[in-house]
């Protein structure tokens, strides 16, 4: 039994391709640098639960102008370092593990998987990636929710006096020092639930590619044009976001340094009690404005770079 497991593990890791890792990192970093301001605003909206210790925004434009007025244009890139690290690592590892698991499932056959196996491969990749990167996402959220230096804010409603973080490494150190491993893995449970987001997105993306290739009677390994990748990435992302967005609000609130919840269920209960169903969709508009082009950029860069890095096929 042990020998069989070992053989399966060796077989799985034999399918690991560095091209997937490098291409995924490149796509994640480029899209994050381009669209971080929308991510910052989305987090601010998602965490907004009525406390007077937070800035309040009347809408997307007001949020951007307020941040620029208080902190300048660089304020729009608050928390960008962990976001770049997190996005690069997440997309890199996700594509790395997903590609290996998918190839392992194909067992040497150049045949596309069905929707169920695509979901299984993507979900497995998502769980592994989340355990590696969750501490980075906690730091990103904490840095994005630092309101120090913003004028005319009453802190009378803030339940916890937050530690001020000087940067990514300082935040990692302080979270570990004062909150331990549980602090670095806050929001993990809704994050695990959110693995369904990536699984649904990758399943939809792969199925759209498969339908396109079948329609034009071409191989599933055919490199498509940028417009096709953009269309499939956008449609798959919109589908996944529309189904799973509430978990992102819960995750942000559990990682927020300004307020404490006893558990995931406590956060869900209080959000529902005080804000109703709409509370679970705060920040949806800036999120859609960010993740749709971000996903398009990521997938186009990934697909094009993956093919560029692959060794040339020898003539048969």
**Over residues 122-135, mean pLDDT:** 94
Contact 132, 89 (CB under 8 A): yes
The per-residue pLDDT for range 171-225, each reduced to its tens digit, is: 999 999 999 999 999 999 888 888 888 899 989 999 999 999 999 988 877 888 9
| pTM for the whole structure | 0.75
Taking the C-alpha atoms of 54, 58, 64 and 69 in order, what is their torsion angle to the nearest 10 degrees? -70
| Range in 12-16, 40-44, 197-201, 300-304 with the lowest mean pLDDT | 12-16
Q: Which CATH number applies to 2-309: 3.40.50.620, 1.50.40.10, 2.60.40.10, 3.40.35.10?
A: 1.50.40.10
Compute the Cα dihedral for 205, 208, 214, 216 and give only its sign: negative
**Over residues 113-129, mean pLDDT:** 90
Instruction: Write phi, then psi, for 166 (nearest 5 degrees).
Output: -85, -15
Cα distance between residue 152 and residue 129, in whole Å: 40
The per-residue pLDDT for range 45-99, each reduced to its tens digit, is: 888 877 666 788 888 899 999 999 988 999 999 999 999 999 999 999 999 998 8
Mean pLDDT over each residue of the chain, to the nearest integer: 85
User: 13 falls in which pLDDT band (50, 70, 90)?
Assistant: low
H helical segments located in the chain? 2-13, 18-47, 60-71, 80-106, 115-144, 168-184, 188-193, 195-215, 226-244, 246-255, 264-275, 284-309
User: 160 falls in which pLDDT band (50, 70, 90)?
Assistant: very low
Cα distance between residue 264 and residue 298, in whole Å: 31
Tokens 């609130």 belong to: 253
Taking the C-alpha atoms of 19, 292, 87 and 186 in order, what is their torsion angle to the nearest 10 degrees? -140
- DSSP at 185: T
Tokens 């993990």 belong to: 188
């Amino acid at each position: 039994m042990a020998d069989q497991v070992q053989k399966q593990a060796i077989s799985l890791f034999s399918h690991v391709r560095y091209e997937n890792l490098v291409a995924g990192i490149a796509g994640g970093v480029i899209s994050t640098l381009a669209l971080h301001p929308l991510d910052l605003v989305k987090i601010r909206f998602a965490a907004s639960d009525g406390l007077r210790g937070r800035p309040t925004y009347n809408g997307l434009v007001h949020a951007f102008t307020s941040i620029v007025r208080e902190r300048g244009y660089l304020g729009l890139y608050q928390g960008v370092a962990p976001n770049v690290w997190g996005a690069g690592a997440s997309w890199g590892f996700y594509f790395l593990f997903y590609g290996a698991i998918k190839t392992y499932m194909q067992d040497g056959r150049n045949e596309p998987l069905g929707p169920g196996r695509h979901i299984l491969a993507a979900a497995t990749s998502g769980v592994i990636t989340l355990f590696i990167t969750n501490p980075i996402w906690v730091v990103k959220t904490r840095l994005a929710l630092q309101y120090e230096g913003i004028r005319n804010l009453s802190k009378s409603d803030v339940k916890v006096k937050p530690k001020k973080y000087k940067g990514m490494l300082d935040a990692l150190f302080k979270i570990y020092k004062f909150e331990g491993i549980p602090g670095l893995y806050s929001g993990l449970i809704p994050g695990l639930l959110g693995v369904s987001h990536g699984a649904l997105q990758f399943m939809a993306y792969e199925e759209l590619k498969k339908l396109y290739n079948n329609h034009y009677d071409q191989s599933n390994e055919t490199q498509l044009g940028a417009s096709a990748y953009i269309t499939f990435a956008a449609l798959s992302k919109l589908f996944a976001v529309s189904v799973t967005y509430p978990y992102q609000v819960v995750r942000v609130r559990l990682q927020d340094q300004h307020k404490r919840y006893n558990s995931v269920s406590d956060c869900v209960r209080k959000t529902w009690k005080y804000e109703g169903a709409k509370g679970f969709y705060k920040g949806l508009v800036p999120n859609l404005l960010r993740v749709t082009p971000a996903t398009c950029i990521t997938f186009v860069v990934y697909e094009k770079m993956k093919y560029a890095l692959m060794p040339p096929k020898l003539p048969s």
